[in-house]
Structure 1
């Protein structure tokens, strides 16, 4: 029994089960797997470049919705088809394919009555005057012709004319008695130059829908073609030949292609299970005589095939020369989904499908799927199984992921290469799915297996961890003791250990860790001793330490049992530390507003520096407080308390842009433009208010994913640009984003911010900064003298005009750059041609 458990737990057995399930699904033609393969196939077909070639010699006459609205509901009387067909014949069309059912009469109900009346008069002449009898006979004959619309359509046809008509052969094995041969007027259109193959052949037909004899006798050719409500509505493959009652019949597109090459059906050579030859044109097929045609997309907004509405052709509104020496296909092309066929380019009507099939044959632009391809696919499936069963279990996790990803890419690229370059359809999606699902399965098993082993090891070493933890606690190594205690199962004795450890943390004034221990206790036993009260005291003590008594700091000292205050604001917790000082989360108790409080301990500076530092700190509040813009952080208040300066400002959600920039990661162009244009708006407003930021960089730009909004932060080094406050020789900001004039210590204005914004834009698009030096001197030299890299060399898919935009934005001379934020924004939007940079529906990159 243990042996069986070990057997079932092997990786190769899991891979075998998964592979067997996928193989069974593939052998039973699973809809999901077939859909996956078709998705990959369709993508390859759409990516294939095609030369129009014979497609320019094919014209579609569409029985479309406007035609039905004008002429009446379908089906129409055959004299309507006759009128349009007659115009096509008179227009010298090389071939006319009528892709409409002709298997049922469409005569007037009164026709039989007229025929009976005419037969009676012929047998019993009423007028004695011979002239009157002949006149009545002519009138009756004319009336009979007018009512017999089938005869009118047949009259347009001729065995030597260009009209070809369809019949429907339903593939399948006949049940019961063998099917009788087709009538002679249909059999005369059968293929005669057929080379039989004992192993393969054309698919058999179990039933047939034949055109009326009146049409069959006069048509130039009859070929099989799916009619309304028949076939599987999947036109990715086309059967060129079908067998019925031991005889072989060509498809209608095959006959039209032969007619285009002036080859009679009797001279079309059929090699069953191999292909078709029309003169010098060879078309390879699979064992069931199926070809996989190419499909021609629209070119520059124009359809691949010329097309006209049936009503216009019938009314003579289309010049006859439009059809001269053309293959004309007449068929239903309404928007009714029930009449459309699935193709790699999307739903198509019957005449569109036939046009693509004919063009593929004449251009020899088709795909092959020979019988041996299935053996290759089976071999790939087997190789994937061998990898999953015997190779992947021996690889470490990261290396296994790398190898699996490499194999996956190789499988998909090989399939696409063969499809695009060799026109060979090798179905690699199923082996790729096996590889991905198998890797996930085995990786999950490995993960859970490792977790199970870890749990077992932890259970075995519980007593060891307890003893080690107590030993570390006795030696004063409380952090190591905490690490050991966390590995113990939660019971009353362990909670007692955590309680005693928390007391030791309190004695060492490590209140946050003491609060963590109490929190660990309360999650498992909310009423454990006085843990809840002690947790509150520890948290309060931590807040007091956060702002409170540090020797010589000059900061305020607050009661540990109360929330610390700065001015009228209650300090909740620390948010982070920046270049200017510490940032806290605060709340205004008067109005309940939650704010961010930025502080600076003035006591950390030398006595002589404090007045200048204090002046600079409050200048930031003054400069930013003058600005009121949706893309600039709002300043609410500023103050000073016991040498601790603070500014209360808007609390921002989201992350700064440094979280999105990664080498090799391409951010969506539209998202980047949306962010940068908002920053440009903010700078345009600030510059008009005579405020220069001086430190524009990704770290000072916040993005809110939820609101899709941008805020420019940290005007901490901004200075009012009045002439009496401007000084030279002062460098403020981040050197990677500085303008040449800022690095040189020259006076700067808003154009310096726009240069920094251009550097930021380059980094967001490329993932790297445009100027990078090994030293500060090398970086300064690059910014001042060397050109920035070509953005298109890093990311070729970007719009070409973006290069010229960045060239101007990063000019060394400020007078050569964009002069205002509005000019920067408008040029960026125009350069990339983004539809709407103000629609806040941009998906934030992850």
Structure 2
């Protein structure tokens, strides 16, 4: 096991486990707040909107360089790619041909024009005048390294480690691991590097892998190149790049200054202060160009880089957050200049392997009785102490020491020893220990919500005096999830233990009755249709974070419950649907999209006559939407002839519904299911809400489908019931049917079969309303007749026009 861990520590896989400790602690490690020495001029979204898409003409970069020179910036780092020429080869040919012109005046004018369009030369001139611009050489991981390009030879770093040997040099093999990849460089053009202050390397990290550090020096075929950050550091202290030297393992000398780095010259920057605010000052480049920002750049390092998500390179920091590469570079330089970093000792891997050897010696010398679980517990305590000390050192001292892999070796190895020792013990003792492990695993599953798996573990456990209590609590959890058959199985298992814990016997009798009367209540998916049981002694269920109080109705897509948000003590209406009951495979995915489209549709609407949505989610296979609990009742009860509303009241209702639909249609949302059941009305306050946008379809071309029938057939328009593409005028037709029914107590189209109903809606004229309800004002009949026209073109122009006609009719009555 010792040899396995020592060998494994040379692999990137094992070292990624060690990195987890750094990832965790670095989220909370903060730097002291200091004066910002680095400014990031961000080419963000607002900048590209103002100045156009990238890449820009290099004349624009030249203007930026000239502006920063006038502002007194200490150094300027241009991150835009300069590895390819921007000036056309056609221009070069024209320049050659111009030499042979006889007309000197024309020749001079042509040369002036050619100079203005030579964007590369303009930028070169700006670099020459500035004498403070640092350019990047991008590098990429490749299987085989390339040679150092000739243009970069002048920036090679001297390796003086042979003159400064120390004890660590003799343990180089024990202080390394296989992580080095080949490098391929992409340097800027030589005409730019000629006048640059320096050229440094910038790593292009894998955007899917967390990056903890930045190499300050890159090795390429036995030669060393500085990073952009290292050159910027040297420039800040007025030290020439040729004064940068390697004098020891992880030790870089810049002039008379020393920089201690971790293995492979990696630097681990701190990027935020104690208030979790970035130490870096960022200014949108557009505000600089428009002179909207007071710069104050004198003596500072300025980085010009892309942060616009459409163009920027991104990387993951130690916390797993994606940040632009320009921001990462700028933050690293700021940390380097201010010394705000997490120190990593150069002999990091040597310390790690030494700890593994030390723990191996510990396991070899401890008494044999400590091979048992009691001794293993001591190792766990030791491991926890070491892990916590390691985390505290990172937070307090900003020093990262290896701990996780050695502790993992200690725990795994000691666990293996204890397990081997345990095999020699009596079978009963082995069973008891196994039972303990199963209980712990079952508790873990129970906490995670995997109740069936938790019961599978508890069912195999030996009764240790606490098993009945554990099972009883599990049974209560099953009841809360409405998995009554599983709860019954748990209580019966308690009975088999030869004891009745608390009221488990009573619960068995009650659950036998529940499972008999509600045979579908035992499955998780059926919870949407049977979440509430009329028995106060059965635990009230939770759905997401909401506690369900009682059933208040059935919507077009499932059950509706009165719920409570315990965080803010607000009553909400919870609409549920167990999609897995009716669908599977692609049909299930389509049904989920359809259900959550209701949340999307309503969430886009904000109108006093449209129900408000608060939340949407899924819990244990039950999809749900939490929405405003509206006082009142649906208009279903007013569809009968002896319960009809007054005509003016119906017009008031229709006006409010038409106003709501007018707003919804402007938001490109069609209801598709307007009917009395989807209109909540309060008789006393006359408040009205349109609900159940469950089959709403967005009228964007990308979201509207044809050939699909959704809604209640009796209220559908001819085009909807025919499966054609519908518009807002379809809701007019449905509102006309609703008004007709509320005024007469009958439907305008009522076939004895689906085919007959479809025929009537698409071909037959409805019976005049005035023949059914005498005394109906002619204006009401005219509005309904126009809304019920078979062709959408013959209906109102929109729901606003329908609402205006209803208001005029209301004034006439």
Give me the TM-score of the superposition, normalised by structure 1. 0.47
* Structure exhibiting the larger radius of gyration computed from Cα positions: 1
